[in-house]
Structure 1
Amino acid sequence: MRAISLLEPEKFSHVDVQAPASPGPGMALVKTHRMGICGTDLGGYLGKFPFFGYPRIIGHELGVEVLEIGEGVGNVSVGDRCSIEPYLNCGSCYACRRGATNCCQTNQTLGVMCDGGLCERFVIRADKLHASRTLRYEQLALVETLAIGCHAVDRGDNGEGDHVMVIGAGPIGLSAIEFARLSGAQVTVVDMVESRLEFCRQTYGIENLIRFQSPEQVSEEVQRITGGDRYAVVIDATGNPHSMTGAMHHVAQTGTLVYVGITNQNLTFEHATMHKPEMTIKASRNALPTDFARIIRLIEEGTIDTEPWITHRVSFDNMIAEFDSYTRPETGVIKAVVDVSGEQQ
């Protein structure tokens, strides 16, 4: 069976792997149709993502078709089109018992800690499948990205009308922007790449856009936009330690800073920076099952339009040759999607 494996940083290879057996109880055999390439995949490719293991068949943003179901499966049927919730939680640890399945102590994320969906077929727990009768595989492949931003905004817990800053307008930042906008927040976006800021203007009508040039320049813009209040919630989606530390200076008194980007480097700051405003600092990891159901409904209703996000499409056979270009902002990539099956949506 065909698959693509990331053997080590910056080295993909086409590989043959054993075809999966029929699914056992509670499991489903699925066929991968579309796979979204996200920041985690790019970080794994560059050797910068802390949870990545090699060699690895990547792929956790997936639009799949159910081919066969095991005994006791009732939430999906053969032929269903599904998005995959790729966080394989244990169900029994402290976090799982509290309903925080996204923070399972022994979580295995598809395509990161264990092999993912950049292959023809694989077996997955059926409870991780979220079906839609109307969405295309391409749309279903973007649900997981949106879920990350949805969860990050929920972690920030802003009120309607609050000033919310999102730093980093890559796919994860865009997903946070989507849900901050839906919450009724006054959204400001910060990025170093003008084309990404222009995307936010054209797609979402956001006018508070800051192209990062220096910390002092950003601080001046923050003062102007918020009237000196700064931001009730700041969401940093960069994974850049300098940005993540600097983000603290934009949080309002009693405000919240949410780190949804990940770095394997140390963050260093003066304690007074967070103590003086009585700042709350939160991490945001993965997403919850309810996020997936909500997002599928919002796309089905037309509240969320995924079409502007997909700037690059590539075939399974050509992915290795094209992948490196997706690491460079000058290529204009927002979201690249791999056509794994070569079949129509």
Structure 2
Amino acid sequence: MKTLVLNAPGHFQQSETDLNTELQDGEVLLKIHRIGICGTDYHAFRGKQPFFSYPRILGHELGAEVVAISAGVDNVVVGDKVSVEPYINCGKCQACRNGKTNCCEKLQVLGVHSDGGMREFLKVPANKVYASKTLSYEQLALVETLGIGSHAVNRAQVQANDLVLVIGAGPIGLSVIQFAKLKGAKVAVMDMNEGRLAFCKQQLKVDETILLKDNDPVEAIRGVLNGDLPTAVFDATGNPASMMQAFKYVAHGGRLTFVGLFQGDVTFNDPEFHRREVTLLASRNALPEDFTSIIAAMENGTLDTHPWVSHRVPFDSLIDSFETLLLPESRVIKAVIEL
């Protein structure tokens, strides 16, 4: 089967690898049709992804077809189109026992800790696939990205009366925006890229946009929020300077949620942190219920993902195209590999 391996930062290799079709009880065999490219993949290509080792088959945002099932599988049948939850958890640790499977102590994320879906076929536990009768493979490949935003917004307990600031208008920031808007909150987004801000305004209908320049961001934030500061701030940049600066943007009594991460330490001024009584949250991955609720919302039209995909890349062209997707002039919102 065709397989793409990231052997080292900046070095993909495409090859033919053997396919073992033997399934363990509770497994399914998938034919991969669409693969979303996310920040994790870009960071891995640049050599800046935490919890990562090489060589690695990337790919954890997957739209796939069930081509074989093992004994005991009853949630899908051969021929189903599915989205894949790529978080392979142990089911036994304290986090799993408490229903926090997204941050299992022994978590193996496909495409990060173990090999993922940048290949023609993939075996996964059947309880990690979610079928839809109506969604396309491309839509199903977007479910995991949306799950990141859904989980983050739920972690922060966003309500309709919140003032929300999303920092970073990449795919993860966009997913946070989608679910904050669904909660009925007023949403502002801040980014350095005018094109991405225009996309947020036109396609996602955010209430306010803030172009991050050399001026004081706090003053700019207060300017669009009638003098107030946001009660819920989400940093989706994975940039250490941005994340540490974000403490200054939170209203007294508000919440700061780090959706992105980086390799290093976060520091902040403790007296100011206490004076504001800020709640600091980390948000990692998503939960099974996020996948089911997102697919339902996409099926009934509550979530429209059609504006998201800006670039489509054939699998056989990815090696030649990947670096161009990183360039600002490419204006990538979301890229999807077609297989």
Bin the TM-score by the shorter chain: over 0.9
Letter in structure 1 aligned against 2:213:
Q
Equivalent residue runs for 1:1-345 within 5 Å: 1-214=1-214, 216-340=215-339
Task: Point out the more displaced range, 103-112 or 21-30.
Answer: 21-30
Aligned-partner SS, 2:190: strand
RMSD of aligned alpha carbons = 0.9
TM-score normalized by the length of structure 2? 0.98
Q: Calculate percent identity across the aligned residue pairs.
A: 50
Aligned-partner SS, 2:310: strand
Task: Point out the more displaced range, 176-185 or 323-332.
Answer: 323-332
| Contact 1:20–1:122 (CA under 8 A) maintained in structure 2 | no
TM-score normalized by the length of structure 1? 0.97
Distance 1:218 1:54 in 2: 38
Task: Point out the more displaced range, 205-214 or 151-160.
Answer: 205-214
| Contact 1:237–1:260 (CA under 8 A) maintained in structure 2 | yes
Letter in structure 1 aligned against 2:91:
G
Spell out, residue by residue over 1:249-283, the C-alpha distance to the aligned partner (whole angstroms, 9 max, x if none): 11111100000001102222211221111101000
Letter in structure 2 aligned against 1:278:
E
Partner of 1:343: none
Letter in structure 2 aligned against 1:290:
E
Task: Point out the more displaced range, 83-92 or 322-331.
Answer: 322-331
Task: Point out the more displaced range, 163-172 or 198-207.
Answer: 198-207
Distance 2:121 2:158 in 1: 41
Letter in structure 2 aligned against 1:199:
F
| Contact 1:34–1:62 (CA under 8 A) maintained in structure 2 | yes
| Contact 2:30–2:121 (CA under 8 A) maintained in structure 1 | yes
Question: Number of residues paired by the alignment?
Answer: 339
Distance 1:144 1:207 in 2: 25
**1:326 to partner: Cα distance:** 1.6
Spell out, residue by residue over 1:139-166, the C-alpha distance to the aligned partner (whole angstroms, 9 max, x if none): 0000000000000111111221310000
| Contact 1:150–1:175 (CA under 8 A) maintained in structure 2 | yes
| Contact 2:56–2:112 (CA under 8 A) maintained in structure 1 | yes
Task: Point out the more displaced range, 9-18 or 80-89.
Answer: 9-18
Spell out, residue by residue over 1:102-160, the C-alpha distance to the aligned partner (whole angstroms, 9 max, x if none): 00001000001100011011111000000000000000000000000000111111221
**1:219 to partner: Cα distance:** 1.0
Aligned-partner SS, 2:253: strand
What stretches of structure 2 of length at least 5 have no aligned partner?
Answer: none
Distance 2:177 2:328 in 1: 19
